[in-house]
Structure 1
Amino acid sequence: MKSEVEYSGLSESEVLASRERYGENILTPPARTPMWKLFLEKFSDPIIRILLIALLLSVAVAVYHIATGEAGMSALFEPAGIVLAILLATVVGFLFEMSAAKKFDILNQVNDDLPVKVIRGGHMLEIPKREIVVGDIVMLNAGDEIPADGILLSAVSVQVNESSLTGEPMATKTTIEADFDKEATYPSNAVMNGSTMLGGYGVMQVTQVGDATEYGKVYTGSQIENNTQTPLDKQLNTLASFITKASYIIAAVIFIARTVIYLTEHPVIDWLLFGSYLLSTAMIAVTVIVVAVPEGLPMSVTLSLAMSMKRMLANNNLVRKMHACETMGAASVICTDKTGTLTQNQMRVHEAAFDYIPESGVEDIIFESIAANSTAHLDEAAGSVKVLGNPTEGALLLWLADRGVDYAALRRHAEVIEQLTFSTERKYMATVVQSPLLNHRVLYVKGAPEYVMNFCSDRVTSSGNVPMTDSRPMLEEKLLQYQNQAMRTLGFAYALVEPDEVCFIAGHLAPHIKLTFLGITAIADPVRKEVPAAVSDCLNAGIKVKIVTGDTPATAREIARQISLWTPEDGDRNIIIGPEFAALDDKTLLERIPDLKVIARARPMDKERLVRLLQSQDEVVAVTGDGTNDAPALNAAQVGLSMGDGTSVAKEASDITIIDNSFGSITKAVLWGRSLYRNIQKFILFQMTINVAACLIVLIGAFLGTESPLTVTQMLWVNLIMDTFAALALASLPPDERVMRDKPRHLNDNIVTRPMAGGIIGTGIAFVLLLFGLLQYFKHVDITSLAQFDLSLFFTHFFNFAPVPGGLTRYELTLFFSIFVFLQFWNMFNAKAFGNVQSAFDRLASCKGFLWVTLIILAGQILIVSLGGALFSVTPLQPMDWVYIFVATSAVLWIGEIYRLIRRWIA
């Protein structure tokens, strides 16, 4: 459909020429990494790398044993187990990230086909947004999304929401140069792509499209790869390096020591026997390296991260990058925006000071005044109420809705005769209506209270109408109170006018008009109910919170006060504005940053610079943002948190999307991250204890010349317990609120803490001594049942290294195998209790995954021993021996419980 208009616009040939020169109005989509490359990236994990090395060495050992006839094809079970661990760790993580990416794409769909009204060839047309070109004349009305960057040719009461670019929820635009706001981020006659028309109407000429727009520039910048290494990556690198060096050192010690011993015992060397001995020694050394590698660690990390991704989604956190789950738990600073995260992003009436008598009918006059003297609308079609138009006017309509008043019906029945829309120059809006309520023509005025009061002669009060001069001081006192709380205030007035009476002259109220003042409202974007408690949780957890916003210092400081971030002791050193922040050099800022709580009037690069400076002080920084202006900081931070209704640019630059936009969900992400890290530590504690024990057993056996009492298939089952089952059990532990009492860990902390190292070495040595003692006992005492176990003989034979003919019976080896497994079984409970948990039984009933795994291990061990036969080199045990093993090995748990009890008493 076409209609004649005053602008001619571009011709068809000019459109084609413009598109050829400046390009289309579409944003270049972010380059997606191919799936095969994403999968291969999983192998860059430091632990996976040493597992690959261990796999090669394990294959070499297996081939050697098969070639020498020491073992059959069962020797390949160990490398097969390592392959399985590698595939589980890489494939699970890959699949979960792919699933998150699909959910993200659905959440982040961009519509380039939105209809836009343009003028071309002297006619108004409706074309898709993507077809806009530089030079196009675009018609803008309230509610429209601005499709490209441009300059206003005409503007009537234009107000735009620029929060996606500047953080400013409402900016006034004009073509009158005298009214330009010199402090505005963008010129007052410029409108930008990604902004939304709140009110008024205008005509713009497009100056930039697509990637050349301000929105597009930030979008392109947000696609730069974020190579910030996560804290967990650093810690796993350190652990991998330590394990590699330690295993190589032990292997070298074994090789050198056994060589020296051989040369000492054999003055005359038989080079053939010596070569065979060296090869055997090399295989023992390689076995130590393989045993030392924590095969289940990458799978444990992956499972923990994957399960956290799934559960965090239920808490409104859509995690796109798996390691962001854990990194959020390491956050030491959260740089948050204000609008939509701390606040509801919906202006509401905080207080309405209408001092009237309801019975007099003045209440109905106020309702009609608000409904008729407004250009905003409420959209309730989507099931939730959405304001269309000026958010301040929308707040008044919401106030009516809360009282059950149908603003649309009031507006429909009150016929508008004349109207002056709001302007920054007038500071008020006025509408003349034919009121069915008063059966008279009425002038309604609302605007800045100090301006509206100047037109008033009376004020409606509970005692009737009183002179404005008498009541004005009290009103001004109340206004000051509201303004000190950074609230927007509106004054309301009305007058009965005659049908032929002139109300407006030259765009202003006629001088003779005398209004009656109705009252004032205080309007603000209210803080979300859950935010103060969530911020308090972060502060108590040692996480610093900094508000970075494009809003005014007064508003930002008031919000900080309402969420208990700003205290009475805080002053000028704790707040700074963007221009001042940008003017300071890095050295001065580094001294100032620890005290800063609020950065107001911030620009995009201010936020990114803040993140970089904080990171230079070894802080782990999380950044929240919903606008295009937030993308550089989101990308620079260790964790970028975009909002669910934020721009696609912000979401592309982020690691986690907070679907419900709430700071409370961010606190839950911290809880999940910290709990996840603690679960990973628990698994490391569990598995490294077994690895230390296994390495020491191989080491002792290498010098004593004894063979391993566990067969390859038995070790495969033990590895299954250590790796898959323990990973599942400890990764499935639910989040623990107590982790929020801890302070953030330092970026350079080791994942293996001193208490963990003490537990690993101490428990590992204790297990080795017990197991070595059992082997010595079984060698010298013929055991057919544990009922005949003699503790005195245990200690008697402990150091009896004399060779014993016949070796161990299958029943004795089965006992040893079962005792070894049950020691690890009970130690898994101790690992569960690591940290600030008071007991292994704490919240045990809620740890359903853990309980299921323990049952599987118990049932599996009994079935293998009872039915495994020749495959597992076992023989069935007597029922009472199972009881003895279960009770005796449980001492591992009870000793741990006593230790935790003593530690609590000391603390």
Structure 2
Amino acid sequence: MSQKNHYTGLTDAEVSESRRKNGVNLLTPPEKDSLLKRFFEKFGDPLIIILLIAGALSIGISCYEYFSLGQGAGVFFEPIGIFIAILLATGLAFIFELKADKEFALLNQVNDDEPVQVIRNGNAMQIAKKDVVVGDIVILNTGEEVPADGELLEAVMLNIDESTLTGEPVCHKTTDPAEFDSEATFPSNHAMRGTKIMEGHGVMRVLAVGDKTENGKVFEAAQIDDSVKTPLNEQLDGLGDLITKISYGFAAAIVIGRIVMYFINVPEFDWVSFLAFFLQTLMVAVTLVVVAVPEGLPMAVTLSLAYSMRRMLKTNNLVRKMHACETMGATTVICTDKTGTLTQNQMQVAQTNFFGNPSDDILIEGIAVNSTAQLDLSGDKAQVLGNPTEGALLLWLHKRGVNYLDVKDKAQRIEELPFSTERKYMATVVKSATGKTILYVKGAPEIIFGMCKNTAGVTRQEVDAQLLEYQNQAMRTLGFAYQELADGDKTIENNKVAAANLTFLGIVAISDPVRSDVPFAVKEVIDAGIKVKIVTGDTPGTA
């Protein structure tokens, strides 16, 4: 993004000193339960509990048959088989999930390695989230997660989702004391670690990292189990309850029925014979409960899920809990992002089509100042930081030998309107290096064209035809417009461009090649009966 002020940030020496003094930007992981406790947790499955009860009752029956009735040792095969099934089911689940936990320990490091835009040594660059230190100048853009607690130095229409900390889905942030919310949980000019930028952009100075952040305090105080039962979990729970109720119901019916029959068929009541008959009746009822339990079901479920878990692991898909495999198997629709998921996320300007021979100064300044992206020029090759579409425009300037930072520094920013999916455009008002006040607008070409009074002789039909040609080549398109402002001219009102004398500059087509493995992957899931939906802000033609 672009800043109203030029920041230099920390030097390498200051970064080292801050890290030594204030620590690293990592949360201390919670203590894990012992292996023994984690193993015994596997016995909490409803079917396993039923099997344990059935196994205990089966042991009682076998002992009665062996010692009282004089039957052979074969009567113990039933309880032994039940407990072998229990140990196999729980043991396999424990072993596979233990392996998954080790893989997840590595995977969790990915979150700490997420790139964060900072300014150090006077240059914009990307560093890992874990490397952010107190005092860093961090650039915040829409869709990003705030990496640490900090004080905002700039905030342009900045709204943050603080639901992870306060429950508030949208909190307006500002650096203007007149707009501060006195009832807000956190100051209106502060951004907190773990919250998400929903709209706008800003710049902040880091005040706290790691465990000392508010997110770290919450993480330390309460380890929240946010696990959700899968459909299979719910179905097995219901099956366990159903088997229990039915078997107990039949057992109770047998006990009552046999007692009634005893009093009907035996004319004289005798306590000794009745107790012997009642004990035999209980044995019959317990036997019914035991045989009603499907000993092989937990084993079959565990084996199938373990096999699914192993297959997913071979394709680099980690599953922490085995039952989650069933949720993946029940997928009917996949909603996928386009940029960086289906495409290579290597956007570059493929074609430009400007009308009316606009001056290079207008084009260059319009692209440089009306942008939320940055270029990391510290290496041999310029790297895009932030929005890849806008970064492609800055790369285009860079390849033409234009230093976009110099252009931005020479233009004084007066007013900004960040891009939003509702408006589909962004705008910036600057005091140009030429001394003129200029409004620059950039966004969806069809919308930008409709806002313009001056179209350089091009018609809507010509623009639509050009857009269709680009979109049929799967290219993203951007339209540009500007207006030199006089005193009293409208610019931005009610979060919309209100200027009435905009001039349409033209269209830029940006390409992003499809990843080579995408066609096969999409065909495979479609053949499996799964629908694929592309979630994108582009036009249907581009998608």
CA deviation after TM superposition for structure 1 residue 214, in Å: 7.3
Cα distance change, pair 297–215 in 1 and its aligned pair in 2 (3 A):
same
Q: 1:521 aligns with which of 485, 488, 508?
A: 508
- Is 1:181 matched with 2:140? no
Tell me which residue corresponds to 1:47.
Answer: 47
Tell me which residue corresponds to 1:70.
Answer: 70
Q: CA separation in 2, counterparts of 1:252 and 1:268?
A: 25
Tell me which residue corresponds to 2:56.
Answer: 56
Cα distance change, pair 530–224 in 1 and its aligned pair in 2 (3 A):
farther
Cα distance change, pair 277–487 in 1 and its aligned pair in 2 (3 A):
same
- Is 1:142 matched with 2:125? yes
Tell me which residue corresponds to 1:348.
Answer: 347
The answer to whether the 8 Å contact 2:259/2:278 transfers is yes
The answer to whether the 8 Å contact 2:141/2:386 transfers is no
1:839-875 per-residue CA deviation (whole Å, 9 max, x = no partner) reads: xxxxxxxxxxxxxxxxxxxxxxxxxxxxxxxxxxxxx
Amino acid at match of 1:391: P
Tell me which residue corresponds to 2:325.
Answer: 325
Tell me which residue corresponds to 1:489.
Answer: 478
Amino acid at match of 1:489: L
Tell me which residue corresponds to 1:89.
Answer: 89
CA deviation after TM superposition for structure 1 residue 93, in Å: 0.6
Q: CA separation in 2, counterparts of 1:343 and 1:309?
A: 25
CA deviation after TM superposition for structure 1 residue 302, in Å: 1.3
CA deviation after TM superposition for structure 1 residue 58, in Å: 0.3
Q: CA separation in 1, counterparts of 2:539 and 2:108?
A: 29
Cα distance change, pair 187–174 in 1 and its aligned pair in 2 (3 A):
same
Report 1:252-267 matches (<5 A): 252-267=252-267
CA deviation after TM superposition for structure 1 residue 387, in Å: 5.4
Gaps of 5+ in 2: 1-7, 161-172, 176-188, 196-201, 355-373, 415-427, 430-439, 444-454, 481-504
SS at 1:144's partner residue? Answer: strand
The percent of aligned pairs where both chains have the same amino acid is 39
Cα distance change, pair 117–539 in 1 and its aligned pair in 2 (3 A):
closer
Report 1:101-250 matches (<5 A): 101-109=101-109, 141-145=124-128, 147-148=131-132, 163-165=143-145, 180-185=155-160, 205-213=205-213, 216=216, 223-250=223-250
Report which of the two has the higher share of helix: 1
The answer to whether the 8 Å contact 2:140/2:204 transfers is no
The answer to whether the 8 Å contact 1:210/1:216 transfers is yes
The answer to whether the 8 Å contact 1:258/1:281 transfers is yes
CA deviation after TM superposition for structure 1 residue 304, in Å: 1.7
SS at 1:322's partner residue? Answer: coil
Tell me which residue corresponds to 1:643.
Answer: none
The answer to whether the 8 Å contact 1:165/1:215 transfers is no
Matched residue count: 425
Amino acid at match of 1:76: F
The answer to whether the 8 Å contact 2:332/2:529 transfers is no
Amino acid at match of 1:181: V
Cα distance change, pair 350–478 in 1 and its aligned pair in 2 (3 A):
farther
1:429-482 per-residue CA deviation (whole Å, 9 max, x = no partner) reads: xxxxxxxxxxxxxxxxxx9789xxxxxxxxxxxxxxxxx956798886678778
Tell me which residue corresponds to 1:287.
Answer: 287
Tell me which residue corresponds to 1:311.
Answer: 311
1:157-190 per-residue CA deviation (whole Å, 9 max, x = no partner) reads: x9655644189xxxxx996x6xx52245455898
The answer to whether the 8 Å contact 2:475/2:542 transfers is no
The answer to whether the 8 Å contact 1:319/1:325 transfers is yes
Q: CA separation in 2, counterparts of 1:479 and 1:96?
A: 56
Tell me which residue corresponds to 2:297.
Answer: 297
The answer to whether the 8 Å contact 2:10/2:136 transfers is no
1:403-436 per-residue CA deviation (whole Å, 9 max, x = no partner) reads: xxxx99x89xx798995358794979xxxxxxxx
Report 1:817-896 matches (<5 A): none
The answer to whether the 8 Å contact 1:378/1:397 transfers is no
SS at 1:319's partner residue? Answer: coil
The answer to whether the 8 Å contact 1:231/1:327 transfers is yes
Gaps of 5+ in 1: 125-137, 168-172, 196-201, 356-373, 401-406, 429-446, 451-467, 492-517, 548-554, 564-907
- Is 1:391 matched with 2:388? yes
Q: TM-score, normalised by structure 2?
A: 0.58
CA deviation after TM superposition for structure 1 residue 306, in Å: 1.1
Amino acid at match of 1:348: M
Q: CA separation in 1, counterparts of 2:81 and 2:477?
A: 67
Q: CA separation in 2, counterparts of 1:191 and 1:139?
A: 23
Amino acid at match of 2:327: T
The answer to whether the 8 Å contact 2:118/2:125 transfers is no
The answer to whether the 8 Å contact 2:117/2:126 transfers is no
Q: CA separation in 1, counterparts of 2:194 and 2:19?
A: 24
Q: TM-score, normalised by structure 1?
A: 0.37
Q: CA separation in 2, counterparts of 1:242 and 1:113?
A: 47
Amino acid at match of 2:509: A
Cα distance change, pair 415–562 in 1 and its aligned pair in 2 (3 A):
closer
Report 1:558-637 matches (<5 A): 558=538
CA deviation after TM superposition for structure 1 residue 228, in Å: 3.3
CA deviation after TM superposition for structure 1 residue 375, in Å: 4.7
Cα distance change, pair 45–193 in 1 and its aligned pair in 2 (3 A):
closer
Cα distance change, pair 545–523 in 1 and its aligned pair in 2 (3 A):
closer
Cα distance change, pair 350–300 in 1 and its aligned pair in 2 (3 A):
farther
SS at 2:510's partner residue? Answer: strand
SS at 1:182's partner residue? Answer: strand
CA deviation after TM superposition for structure 1 residue 376, in Å: 5.6
Cα distance change, pair 391–151 in 1 and its aligned pair in 2 (3 A):
farther
Tell me which residue corresponds to 2:407.
Answer: 420
1:95-141 per-residue CA deviation (whole Å, 9 max, x = no partner) reads: 1111111112223326979999999xxxx9xxxxxxxxxxxxx8653
SS at 1:108's partner residue? Answer: helix
The answer to whether the 8 Å contact 1:342/1:531 transfers is no
Cα distance change, pair 479–354 in 1 and its aligned pair in 2 (3 A):
closer
Cα distance change, pair 390–79 in 1 and its aligned pair in 2 (3 A):
closer
Q: CA separation in 2, counterparts of 1:273 and 1:536?
A: 68
The answer to whether the 8 Å contact 1:54/1:290 transfers is yes
1:474-496 per-residue CA deviation (whole Å, 9 max, x = no partner) reads: 8866787789x9945388xxxxx
CA deviation after TM superposition for structure 1 residue 301, in Å: 1.6
Cα distance change, pair 418–448 in 1 and its aligned pair in 2 (3 A):
same
Amino acid at match of 1:239: L
Cα distance change, pair 424–263 in 1 and its aligned pair in 2 (3 A):
farther
Q: Which structure's CA Rg is the greater one?
A: 1
Q: CA separation in 2, counterparts of 1:300 and 1:308?
A: 12
Q: CA separation in 2, counterparts of 1:424 and 1:337?
A: 40
The answer to whether the 8 Å contact 1:339/1:345 transfers is no
The answer to whether the 8 Å contact 1:25/1:148 transfers is yes
The answer to whether the 8 Å contact 1:93/1:306 transfers is yes
Amino acid at match of 1:522: A
Q: CA separation in 2, counterparts of 1:354 and 1:37?
A: 67
CA deviation after TM superposition for structure 1 residue 18, in Å: 7.1
1:775-810 per-residue CA deviation (whole Å, 9 max, x = no partner) reads: xxxxxxxxxxxxxxxxxxxxxxxxxxxxxxxxxxxx
Report 1:739-888 matches (<5 A): none
The answer to whether the 8 Å contact 2:9/2:122 transfers is no
Q: CA separation in 1, counterparts of 2:135 and 2:74?
A: 77
Q: CA separation in 1, counterparts of 2:58 and 2:42?
A: 21
Cα distance change, pair 538–108 in 1 and its aligned pair in 2 (3 A):
farther
